[in-house]
Amino acid sequence: MSDPVSPQLAHLIDGYRRFRRTGWTPRVERWRELGEGQNPRVMVIACSDSRVDPAQIFDTDPGEMFVVRNVAAMVPPFETAPGHHGVSAALEFAVQVLKVDEIIVLGHGMCGGCQAALTQRLHGAEPGQGGFIADWIALLDEARGPVIAAHGTHGPAAERAMELAGVRTSLANLRTFPCIATKEARGTLRLTGAFFAISDGVLHLLDQQTGEFNPVA
Ligand SMILES: [Zn+2]
């Protein structure tokens, strides 16, 4: 007897069968090539939020982007303290082994992680009860100061400012990794800040000269 399938899993399996029929089978040659190895030219760091799927937003195929998703699309600074540095391991692989040409940090609208960073409502929570999130989004504490000074801790303007500040923070932290800073200085690696909200469906790119996010025409 096989395990019972939940309605949620059944829904995903329906999607898998559709993909096999319309996405996989017609392009089996391409997938066989990918079976030999991957050579993505871009790394994307995005939020785990269900509304911001990089492959959908950029309409890419398997093999095109190396993606890390986590709460609030954060990159921690370069740290050598003991611990399990998941983002740093992925960065190391993308930059040193795959040798990607571009890293994009993709923030998004209505980000719960950024909102929690703003309100600090999980401050002091136990691990497993919000404490892991609180610790993770403490990466935004420094960026939070100017945001709350300008907009307070609640409301759409404060939230958007925090979301955009999160992208800038992750970019700044990327540059604390020596291998990334070196490659960027040499011109062999580009760092890009981006922002997308499903509500208006508009991608914004950070102009690193002005610090402004501008919509992509
Ligand atoms: Zn988010």
Q: What DSSP state is assigned to residue 24?
A: I
C-alpha 32 to ligand 1 mean position (Å): 34
Give the per-residue pLDDT at 122: 97
Radius of gyration of the chain (CA): 19
Average pLDDT by consecutive 10-residue portion of the chain (217 residues)?
90 97 93 94 98 97 97 97 95 98 98 98 97 97 98 97 98 98 98 97 97 96
* Residues bordering ligand 1, an ion, CB closer than 5 Å: 47, 49, 111, 113
C-alpha 49 to ligand 1 mean position (Å): 5
β-pairing, 65-70 vs 42-47, is parallel
Element (H, E) at 55: helix 54-57
